[in-house]
Amino acid sequence: MTSPSLHTAAVDILAEDAWPGPGDGELPPPLSGFVVSAFSPMASAAADRCLEQVHGTLGTRTPTEPAAETGDGRPGPGRPAARTAIVLATRGGDLETHTATAVAVDAGKSAAPLLFFQSVPNAVVGHIAKRWELTGPVICFSPDDATGDPLGEALDITRSLVAGGDAEEALVLLVEQAGPDGGPGSARALLVRPAPGAGEGS
């Protein structure tokens, strides 16, 4: 887990998780309807792990039940879903899907139809929203430049959505297929809500 920053100090982190984690294999679990690339399965796996901490395991949660609370007053498993936005940030996007499509086109072959469907991050974001019954807006973006701050920009978007009344909280996803120096891909998920008073006086 990343150390607290000036950005995360301005939000309440309700839950956080990532893929891969301790004991994970080289590839994330397969995701029905998504092929070739690990981008969408990584994003979905991280999102599931994060949301399960608050909403409980899919298939067992009952959204109409009263909200449970943890010992520190934060919502616990089984909490009814708020109007939750999804904000996905990625520098490189789905590199494996783009590469597979380009290879097929260069060879004069037809690319698999599913590759067109999953060629934009909105596809997996929509999958996550439907799976978890999240009703807020969805936004996918790349940082302004190579030195941009994906988390900082995603949290700025979250604060704007909440301030505008479009959402109460956001599931922030940071997904990259190639880490720094060509390291393995990873996905990080944070369920966040602007801290009380955040942005006041600015």
Given 3-state DSSP classes, what are the helix, strand and coil percentages for the chain, each rounded to the nearest 5? 30, 20, 50
The answer to whether 38 and 101 have CB atoms below 8 angstroms apart is no
Q: What is the mean pLDDT of residues 22-35?
A: 88
Integer Cα distance of 133 and 82 in angstroms: 10
The answer to whether 30 and 110 have CB atoms below 8 angstroms apart is no
- Percent of the chain scoring above 70 in pLDDT: 76
Report yes or no on whether pTM surpasses 0.85: no
Q: What is the mean pLDDT of residues 93-121?
A: 76
- Split at pLDDT 50, 70, 90, the class of 43 is very high
Beginning with the edge strand found earlier in the chain, give each strand of the sheet holding 11-19 in spatial order.
11-19, 186-194, 169-176, 84-89, 138-141
For residue 199, what pLDDT is reported?
54
For residue 34 the two structure tokens come to 């998504």
Strand (E) positions, 2-125?
11-19, 84-89
- What's the mean pLDDT when you consider all of the chain? 81
Domains of the chain: 8-194 (3.40.47.10)
Model pLDDT for residues 122-176, shown as the tens digit of each residue: 889 999 999 999 999 999 999 877 667 999 999 999 999 999 999 999 999 999 9
Q: What is the mean pLDDT of residues 85-103?
A: 85
Backbone phi, psi, residue 189, to 5°: -125, 135
CA 132 to chain centre: 12
